[in-house]
Amino acid sequence: MADITASMVKDLREKSGAGMMDCKKALAENNGDVDAAMDWLRTKGLAAAAKKSSRTAAEGLVGVAVAGTKGAAVEVNSETDFVAKNDQFQAFVREVTQLALENGEDMDALKATKTPSGRTVEEALTNNIATIGENQSLRRVRVLEVSQGAVVPYVHNAAVPGMGKIGVLVALESDAGADVLEPLGKQVAMHIAAAFPLALDETGLDAEILERERGIAREKIAAEVAEKGKAIPADIMEKRVEGNVAKYRKENALLSQLFVMDGKTPVADVIAKAGKDVGTTIKLKDYVRFQLGEGIEKEESDFAAEVAATAGITK
């Protein structure tokens, strides 16, 4: 049996929204494994279906930029939010985003690209670390392009123009004008920022994630059936399981999600109607959503805990 500490319970509680005692029990039942405990809580209906990748756990900035029918998004991480407000750091993010827009999303090639200062991106990053005094990293980059249409950018709660904690790009393929595509793209981008789709359509959802959801659904339904004291045929069980998985697919694929602006129209229908209104076809070709630090677990500094650890006390 793993030693369940208060900090582990606190961490799980923050991630799941479940009660403290439920979190403690979940950790105990799963030998201290936080991910398994999260699934256990979901199976019991005690936690929201939170996506692990949505946990913002690092600082820095996401930058987005567009030029014509092409757009780029980058994420540059730092240790503290204080650095994200630094002019030198912001200038670096701005430069790297522009270089990605001009040169593509190959990370190695981008790091070797020269910045306006004459240094390569990698050298400029090393210089930032030395002069600002905090570790930083160029984490990821994506570039979208359409042959005709628009790539529309959006930054949620921008810290400065083109940079913030959530950056979105929406690629719309169409011969419609900018007066149609720009406002449509911005609305879809705002939806993406809020709704956090996992894929453009259902075929793009990760098979491993779907299988995990299938297992969670099966356990949850089995628990409900056992509580009622009635058995159900295996085929009925599987139909209910697949019904749950189908719902998950619909709720997590962008085109089938209900548009946040009205809460009832699928995104695919919103785009189709926009095209119909102007007598042409508009296709949502792709999108990018970068949320600062998603998927990174950040170690929190706790002075009291450090003192306790030094004294050999388990927190």
Q: What pLDDT score does 73 carry?
A: 98
Q: What pLDDT score does 311 carry?
A: 41
In SS3 terms, 219-274 reads as: HHHHHHHHHHCCCCCHHHHHHHHHHHHHHHHHHHEHHHCECCCCCCCEHHHHHHHH
Q: Return the amino acid letter for 219.
A: E
Confidence of residue 49 (pLDDT cuts 50, 70, 90): very low
Percent of the chain with pLDDT over 70: 89
Q: What angle do CA 37, 39, 41 make, to 5 degrees?
A: 70
In angstroms, the first-to-last Cα distance of the chain is 17
pLDDT in tens, 135-154: 899 999 999 999 999 999 99
Within 140-206, where are the H helices?
A: 178-195
Q: What pLDDT score does 120 carry?
A: 95
Average pLDDT for 283-307: 72
**Average pLDDT for the chain:** 87
Cα–chain center distance at 128: 26
pLDDT in tens, 232-254: 888 888 999 999 999 999 999 99
Average pLDDT for 157-170: 95
Which of 262, 156, 241, 255 shows the shortest CA–CA distance to 198? 255
Residue 53 or residue 162, greater confidence: 162
pLDDT in tens, 95-135: 999 999 999 999 999 999 999 989 999 999 999 888 888 88
Contact, 260 vs 193, CB < 8 A?
no
- Strands 283-291 and 166-173, by their bridges, are antiparallel
Q: What pLDDT score does 10 carry?
A: 82
The CATH number of 1-50, from 3.40.50.280, 1.10.8.10, 1.10.15.40, 3.30.413.10, is 1.10.8.10
